[in-house]
Structure 1
């Protein structure tokens, strides 16, 4: 199956180019705003619309700065040490979920302290937003023809423009489905079923860790890193602790006295 010919630029106005990947980020932040508004009302928090907008801004900065720094540290440190100015070339790609995850946590710690809102309440709310952004981001990866999967002979294997002549797993779509739609439903179910603070957040951590670990078996490893010990990718090394810790914390919170 040939990769569909999709122009990564959906709009050109003179020298300006608007890309699908950037649009996915914008849609993710817009969806986050409305989800946070709904969750704030449901939890009866005293957050105004301006407060919610500020919270989205904090989260966006955490995602972008943390994601970029995480990619540099976890995936390509040697390259950026020799080409330091390329650190700012974000249009070339290079974002890490795990770095963005840590960036959002730090951003929400700052927001929590400044606005006197319980940190874990904010993180539970963010956990419902994250799968939406992840799903949209993976669709952007698919449109760009990047982060494709390993060679395969399954009927839906695709020949990607930069992936050689072999059909490959459309692993971006696997991730959009599992880390996006399925994980959203899991976190929503966990947050609605349990009134205990932290269950939704840790359910997200465990679910993402599990899904990312599984999908990495189908995703092409980063060329500059390859496979560790002949079996595990960097994504799996970073995701396995998330699954183990998240699962442990969900059980611990669920068994604790209310």
Structure 2
């Protein structure tokens, strides 16, 4: 396969440029809203106003948490030397794990407003997230960033600009963290599972998928491998998710 080298600018109007990556974020929030609205029809404790507020709170959590998480987890030295670098979004840099923590904190504020319990909200939110993750990874692919390792495997993709073939790890993540995770959580959530179990399954599966794909993904150049010649920051941050997910699903089973 040959990388198509897509122009990251989807539309150039002269006075403004619209990027594919931004469109992917819009599709992520739109898909979450539509899925939430569909789920709310099947439940009696959600209304249109709550869904709109939940998406708004979640969007703020994703962007703020994702950017802050990137600076703290992946670019701490730069952040400490120049805290204002957090606003230099034109240089790129978003972290899923930071975005996840940002959404969790945003949902705490949302719950205070609507008097909902944490896992009632998170179990509702969890199936809405994967498609957005998939869109984000497609955005990474279009931007030609977060490539996998150099390979001669037929599963690799030849990048003419680099003159090498690499694993398209962005597409692997879009498939596993996006499509597969969405299908599993969506089907599972329809079976009236015990409280916390949908959130737990999200934590376990995302953590496992991310941990596995990191073996073929090139780590951030400023960090490299953290230990053993293979452990990455993405894997290190995913391990607590897996452990917490197992704990929650065992707790839900006992309950």
What interval of TM-score do these two structures reach, taking the shorter chain for normalisation?
over 0.9
How far apart, CA to CA, are the structure 1 residues paired with 2:101 and 2:116?
A: 19
Change (3 A) 1:153 1:2: same
- The equivalent of 1:159 in structure 2 is 158
* 1:57-114 Cα deviation digits (max 9, x unpaired): 1000000000000000000111233343332121321000000000000000100011
- The equivalent of 1:227 in structure 2 is 225
- The equivalent of 2:188 in structure 1 is 190
Equivalences for 1:7-156 in 2 at 5 Å? 7-47=7-47, 49-156=48-155
Note if contact 2:169-2:213 (Cα within 8 Å) is conserved in structure 1.
yes
* 1:176-229 Cα deviation digits (max 9, x unpaired): 000001111121232223431111111101110000000000100110111122
SS at match of 2:218: coil
The gaps in structure 2 that reach 5 residues or longer are none
The gaps in structure 1 that reach 5 residues or longer are none
- The equivalent of 2:177 in structure 1 is 179
Note if contact 1:145-1:161 (Cα within 8 Å) is conserved in structure 2.
no
Structure 1 runs (4+) deviating above 3 angstroms are 159-162
- The equivalent of 1:203 in structure 2 is 201
How far apart, CA to CA, are the structure 2 residues paired with 1:41 and 1:117?
A: 18
Q: CA deviation at 1:18?
A: 0.4
- Alpha-carbon RMSD across the aligned residues, in angstroms, is 1.5
SS at match of 1:193: coil
How far apart, CA to CA, are the structure 2 residues paired with 1:248 and 1:187?
A: 18
SS at match of 1:42: coil
How far apart, CA to CA, are the structure 2 residues paired with 1:210 and 1:46?
A: 31
Note if contact 2:130-2:182 (Cα within 8 Å) is conserved in structure 1.
yes
Q: How many residues align?
A: 254
How far apart, CA to CA, are the structure 2 residues paired with 1:211 and 1:46?
A: 31
TM-score (ref. length: structure 1): 0.94
* 1:144-164 Cα deviation digits (max 9, x unpaired): 0000101111113123366x3
How far apart, CA to CA, are the structure 2 residues paired with 1:70 and 1:120?
A: 23
66-75 or 236-245, which moves further after superposition? Answer: 236-245
Note if contact 1:148-1:160 (Cα within 8 Å) is conserved in structure 2.
no
